[in-house]
Structure 1
Amino acid sequence: VFFFFPCLEYRAKNEIERQEFMFLLTGGVGLKNKYKNPDPSWLPDKSWDEILTVSTFSSRNHVTENIGEWQKIYDSKEPQSFPLPEQWNNTLNELQKMVILRCLRPDKIGPAITTFVTDKLGKKFVEPPPFDLTKSYLDSNSTIPLIFVLSPGADPMSSLLKFANDKEMVGNKFQSISLGQGQGPIATKMIQEGMEEGTWVCLQNCHLAVSWMPVLEKICEEFSSEKCHPDFRLWLTSYPSPKFPVTILQNGVKMTNEPPTGLRLNLLQSFLSDPISDPAFFSGCPEKELKLLFGVCFFHALVQERRKFGPLGWNIPYGFNESDLRISIRQLQLFINEYSHVPFEAVSYLTGECNYGGRVTDDWDRRLLLTMLDDFYNPEIIENPRYTFSPSGIYYAPPKGTYEDYIQFIKNLPFSQEPEVFGLHENVDISKDLQQIKILFESLLLTQGGDIQGTSSGGGDSTLYEIADDILSKVFCLAKYPVRYEESMNTVLGFILLNVTQTTPLSEDKAIKGLVVMDAELEALCGSLLIGKVPENWAKHSYPSLKPLGSYILDFLERLKFLQDWYELGKPTVFWLSGFYFTQAFLTGAMQNYARKHRIPIDLLGYEFQVIPQDTADTAPADGVYIHGLFLDGARWDRTKSKSNAYVCPLYKTSERKGVLSTTGHSTNFVIALTLNTDKPVQHWIKRGVALLCQLDD
């Protein structure tokens, strides 16, 4: 991102229009589309809408008339390298071709950006430099703090302790404290002593001591060469935090050490680190321990690498690191030395529930973690010489050998791994790439600041008028529905807020005309509308949604129509579950109807689920409700196969899956757990991260 942006900004000023540049970052704002998709069998409606939006240099007729040529690009494994149709290939520059790629295959923008930066700046700008603590130290002095910006899975403390040992700053010369409640005064005293005596002081996890950060800022501002001993150094570690003092960041030497990417490099780092790298430890391991040792290292690599797949990997990206692996290895050795047979239940509990599980706050993530651990902590890994860690058979625990044999075995593993080793489907890479590109462009948009007004060739004001008028023309008011004791569902209709979406566009129109003052809230609203993002003021009053503005408005109108039809035509026979503002209210209403009808206390009732073969129904069921509108993420439903196992599948409001942890132990994004019948083992779907969603992101 850092090198792509200045390169992009410079080229954009000379090679493409401002409108095209902003489209590359935002994907455009589209609410209306009067032209029919020429081939919906392969061309998604979203891609077609975006192609129409970039009409400044594209031709709708050319796409319609040469649909076969465009399909070849869409189907290509490397569309970023595939030549466009001749008419376009000869006239468009590289950035304009990237805009077309964003329309057709946004998942391949990443490789296109890498190629772009390599061509314009050189290969060294796309390769991360090695972590060099010595070089950073030489850039500092006693008045300049050294700041480790932490990333999940990487712990710089072991590197820092080794570096301190090399510089002979050990014992009383190196003091460290992990910040938290009540640790501020102790840290202040340590810094004062370090300044006087010339020792090193390390304050860990500054992001956990937000209230003490102003004190730290004041201390650092008072650093001077007269007050500080020349050998004194202040080391700080912190995750990115908006509360971290800006002045310390500006004046300090900043470093980050990301964990190795890929199973091979991750395994290699584990075997090159303490305690495995210690010859005394390794030589004292019997063969059964070596197999389990390799298994737990492989497990450690898997749980770290799953993070890159987003919600399909983990609902919440946990910071598993080397200390979790280190304590698990020590405990494994302890149990093997103490018992004649391996107590798998005990080591599984300590590793899965305590060491790694201690970081896990989501129940569904805990289920996944323990399922993955079962593949490595079981008798098969010791007894079966052909036991493999993946269906392909590439990964397995090698037979007993020397330490060098293990290192060589790891080095011979594939440099990059297929999703099958994680238990995921091969298409998961597409989801991962789309998520990374979304984050990339959101980061680039933040650098634009207030310079987003020129997103249209006709100027920002005319675009705002157009968007606001379009929204106002479509949003309508709902009639109120009477509440009856016999029908709890009528109460569900009360959970809708239209006021904000109707009043804010009106206020924005007046502000542009100069009739009212353009305050900070309206300015933020205008900025969001111009980049196709749902305004923050709307999101506060809205149901959860990750859709861009155009799709959000269309979805919102569908919800209003669903409720209006309910009012005009009566209670539907099949309910659109995703269309409710508060989904749990509908589920409670359905249960309450049954409880009142059969005179059973509601707290004694539970749900049963059945997937029926048809999509519609003419009559409602005698008890319970028919629902539709759910999406299966990570799998598809096959109506033709008979199914014997039952997979407990969580239902989430959005694909983000994570939310605020509620008193029930579940995320606020979580709705309910449904049982889905399957012909495969339940573990297969747990590893695939299969879940139901109320809505998609498009």
Structure 2
Amino acid sequence: GKVYEFNEADQSCGLATIDHWLDVVGHGRANVSPDKIPWDAIKTLLTQSVYGGRIDNDFDKQLLESFVESLFKAQSFDLDFALVQDSDSADVAIPEGTKPEHFLAWVQQLPEREPPTWLGLPSNAEKLLLIAKGHSLMGKVRRMKSLTDDEEAVYTPGESDGGASVDPSAATASTDSAGAATQPAWMRTIASLTATWLDVLPASVTTMVKDVERMKSPLFRVFARENQVGRSLLNTVRRDMQDLVQVCAGTLKQTNHLRSLLDDFNKGTIPTHWQRYKVPQTFTMTQWLGDFQQRLTQLGTIAQCVTAGGELDRLAIWFGGLFYPEAFITATRQAVAQRMGWSLEQLQMVLELGQGSVPGNDMDVDGGAPAEADLAAFRVTGLRIEGGHLAKGGNLELSPSASKLPVSQIRWLNKSDPATAALVDPNQPGRATLPVYLNADRRELLFSIPVQVHAQDTLKMSQRAVAVVAGV
């Protein structure tokens, strides 16, 4: 996520803002009734100017507002007011007293290491950070070991065992006196890796045949484009790997393009010309190839559905695994507008979590048209929620880990319907707004959805940064 550089100047400005409004209300008096303090003015200035002026993400702003809202209110002057409501231990209550030494003594009694729950984070937040750092460290160690092996195994021809090492991108397979090909360690690894992935990746993806009738469907058009992009990228990947196999065998001369590929494979980075869709920046080549293979599998299923004359509406789509997921969302909107005779401006999208597994709406490639009630709904899969889980009854509850969601539905509603306005109103009791991100790194926001939560968890949903992830 994005980092905001707040500093002591922001803190000083915030304190000055609070002092100013207390002076305005107090008119020189030493004591002011909490009910007389202009809480709305203070909260607005803190969330929109002092700190909020630097925040350009709506959900980061929600997080700031949740903290300000929970602390800056008249109840904070009550003796039993809890600064932190910790479910794992005793609540942190506001200190008693009115003098500075009372507050200093309270501060001295706080534990040396404050639990992450005091900041609204899950209790295992530090453990999750350490796990992430551990994975990153192990990846760097493996990469460093690979480079060290290269330096030990690669020598210039004609040199003794003490010869100088050469750049892996410039190395080639050589032949010893017995005629057997000798390869450096990194080249043997690349040869093995490319051979494995050439077996795993499909040789081709079925082409979606276009005709006049099919091209009238927004869903067909978007899937036809996905199919074309997938086939083109697959051809590029397989051709590059086949060339690398020949280079490692010494039967193909290296070019600048192939040297660049060898360097990428050796380092485990994704070649630039393969990066035609968005994945997490920390993705290695092995992760990318596994993800690409899953995307191709879905494209093959969609193409088979069209070939068999099935309805695309009946497929449960992993829209986070599409090359252009935003185009799929737009296509569903256009499809509903065509079917229902509504204008695009009238449509409001909701994501019904866990409500996609309904009778008569299975993944049947020849099951006929969807029922009337489902003309505005599209089944989606592959979603997971971070920081929460879906409880019985449809409510979203907090959780310290991520959980996979069952098949869900994207549904388009008519804004003119009063029930729609009530359903998407974020100010309704027990209602929270969650972001839906493309990938786990949360760099690409797709859209936001209203969800039903317990009333006491409304602010915590923002503080725990609960979100739905559609991709990887």
Q: Which amino acid aligns with 1:469?
A: A
2:234 match: 498
Q: Deviations over 1:129-153 (max 9, x none)?
A: xxxxxxxxxxxxxxxxxxxxxxxxx
Are residues 485 and 460 of structure 1, via their aligned partners in 2, closer, same or farther at CA, if it must alter by over 3 Å?
closer
How many angstroms apart in 2 are the aligned matches of 1:355 and 1:443?
40
2:217 match: 487
> Does the 8 Å CA contact 1:454/1:460 hold for their aligned counterparts?
no
Q: Deviations over 1:150-202 (max 9, x none)?
A: xxxxxxxxxxxxxxxxxxxxxxxxxxxxxxxxxxxxxxxxxxxxxxxxxxxxx
1:580 match: 322
1:526 match: 262
Q: Deviations over 1:592-613 (max 9, x none)?
A: 1111223322233221332345
Q: Deviations over 1:65-113 (max 9, x none)?
A: xxxxxxxxxxxxxxxxxxxxxxxxxxxxxxxxxxxxxxxxxxxxxxxxx
Are residues 608 and 614 of structure 1, via their aligned partners in 2, closer, same or farther at CA, if it must alter by over 3 Å?
closer
Mapping of 1:150-165 within 5 angstroms?
none
2:432 match: 647
How many angstroms apart in 2 are the aligned matches of 1:478 and 1:350?
56
Are residues 522 and 452 of structure 1, via their aligned partners in 2, closer, same or farther at CA, if it must alter by over 3 Å?
farther
The alignment status of 1:560 with 2:246, answered yes or no, reads no
How many angstroms apart in 2 are the aligned matches of 1:416 and 1:500?
53
How many angstroms apart in 2 are the aligned matches of 1:614 and 1:354?
43
Q: 2:150 aligns with which of 453, 461, 464?
A: 453
2:254 match: 517
Q: 1:611 aligns with which of 347, 353, 366?
A: 353
1:589 match: 331
Are residues 444 and 557 of structure 1, via their aligned partners in 2, closer, same or farther at CA, if it must alter by over 3 Å?
closer
The alignment status of 1:406 with 2:103, answered yes or no, reads yes
> Does the 8 Å CA contact 1:455/1:530 hold for their aligned counterparts?
no
> Does the 8 Å CA contact 1:577/1:694 hold for their aligned counterparts?
yes
Q: Which amino acid aligns with 1:380?
A: Q
1:395 match: 92
Instruction: Could you tell me which runs of 5 or more consecutive residues in structure 1 were left unpaired when the two chains were aligned.
Output: 1-314, 659-668
Q: 2:193 aligns with which of 464, 467, 473?
A: 467
- DSSP 3-state at the match of 2:389: coil
Pairwise CA distance, 1:465: 0.4
> Does the 8 Å CA contact 2:215/2:221 hold for their aligned counterparts?
no
Greater shift, 326-335 or 405-414, is seen at 405-414
How many angstroms apart in 1 are the aligned matches of 2:338 and 2:235?
34
How many angstroms apart in 2 are the aligned matches of 1:589 and 1:398?
56
How many angstroms apart in 2 are the aligned matches of 1:505 and 1:401?
73
1:677 match: 452
The alignment status of 1:381 with 2:71, answered yes or no, reads no
How many angstroms apart in 2 are the aligned matches of 1:455 and 1:479?
45
1:419 match: 116
How many angstroms apart in 2 are the aligned matches of 1:584 and 1:695?
12
> Does the 8 Å CA contact 1:648/1:676 hold for their aligned counterparts?
yes
The alignment status of 1:543 with 2:278, answered yes or no, reads yes
Q: Which amino acid aligns with 2:122?
A: H
How many angstroms apart in 2 are the aligned matches of 1:401 and 1:448?
61
Q: Which amino acid aligns with 1:321?
A: N
Mapping of 1:217-296 within 5 angstroms?
none
Q: Deviations over 1:37-58 (max 9, x none)?
A: xxxxxxxxxxxxxxxxxxxxxx
Are residues 694 and 430 of structure 1, via their aligned partners in 2, closer, same or farther at CA, if it must alter by over 3 Å?
farther
1:371 match: 66
How many angstroms apart in 2 are the aligned matches of 1:600 and 1:357?
38
1:334 match: 20
How many angstroms apart in 2 are the aligned matches of 1:404 and 1:465?
70
1:359 match: 54
Are residues 686 and 462 of structure 1, via their aligned partners in 2, closer, same or farther at CA, if it must alter by over 3 Å?
same
Are residues 323 and 536 of structure 1, via their aligned partners in 2, closer, same or farther at CA, if it must alter by over 3 Å?
farther
Q: Which amino acid aligns with 1:507?
A: D
Q: Which amino acid aligns with 1:436?
A: K
> Does the 8 Å CA contact 1:511/1:518 hold for their aligned counterparts?
no
1:635 match: 388
Q: Which amino acid aligns with 1:695?
A: G
> Does the 8 Å CA contact 1:615/1:628 hold for their aligned counterparts?
no
The alignment status of 1:477 with 2:201, answered yes or no, reads no
How many angstroms apart in 1 are the aligned matches of 2:63 and 2:446?
19
1:625 match: 378
2:134 match: 437
Pairwise CA distance, 1:434: 2.2
Q: Deviations over 1:572-598 (max 9, x none)?
A: 432222221111111111111111223
Q: Which amino acid aligns with 1:651?
A: V
Pairwise CA distance, 1:378: 0.9
How many angstroms apart in 1 are the aligned matches of 2:149 and 2:7?
40
How many angstroms apart in 1 are the aligned matches of 2:152 and 2:131?
23
Are residues 517 and 524 of structure 1, via their aligned partners in 2, closer, same or farther at CA, if it must alter by over 3 Å?
closer
Are residues 444 and 355 of structure 1, via their aligned partners in 2, closer, same or farther at CA, if it must alter by over 3 Å?
farther
Higher strand content, 1 or 2: 2
2:464 match: 688
Q: Which amino acid aligns with 2:69?
A: D
How many angstroms apart in 2 are the aligned matches of 1:526 and 1:454?
15
How many angstroms apart in 2 are the aligned matches of 1:690 and 1:316?
16
- DSSP 3-state at the match of 2:71: coil
How many angstroms apart in 1 are the aligned matches of 2:140 and 2:269?
17
2:175 match: none
Are residues 551 and 573 of structure 1, via their aligned partners in 2, closer, same or farther at CA, if it must alter by over 3 Å?
same
TM-score (norm 2): 0.70
- DSSP 3-state at the match of 2:61: helix
- DSSP 3-state at the match of 1:345: helix
Q: Which amino acid aligns with 2:206?
A: A
Are residues 686 and 401 of structure 1, via their aligned partners in 2, closer, same or farther at CA, if it must alter by over 3 Å?
same
> Does the 8 Å CA contact 1:632/1:691 hold for their aligned counterparts?
yes
> Does the 8 Å CA contact 2:237/2:274 hold for their aligned counterparts?
no
- DSSP 3-state at the match of 1:673: strand
- DSSP 3-state at the match of 1:399: coil
Percent identity among equivalent residues? 16
- DSSP 3-state at the match of 2:431: strand
TM-score (norm 1): 0.49
Are residues 332 and 549 of structure 1, via their aligned partners in 2, closer, same or farther at CA, if it must alter by over 3 Å?
same
Are residues 525 and 373 of structure 1, via their aligned partners in 2, closer, same or farther at CA, if it must alter by over 3 Å?
farther
How many angstroms apart in 1 are the aligned matches of 2:131 and 2:471?
17
Pairwise CA distance, 1:479: 3.1
2:5 match: 319
How many angstroms apart in 2 are the aligned matches of 1:525 and 1:324?
48
Aligned pair count reads 369
Pairwise CA distance, 1:507: 3.3
Are residues 361 and 387 of structure 1, via their aligned partners in 2, closer, same or farther at CA, if it must alter by over 3 Å?
same
How many angstroms apart in 1 are the aligned matches of 2:152 and 2:96?
62
- DSSP 3-state at the match of 2:112: coil
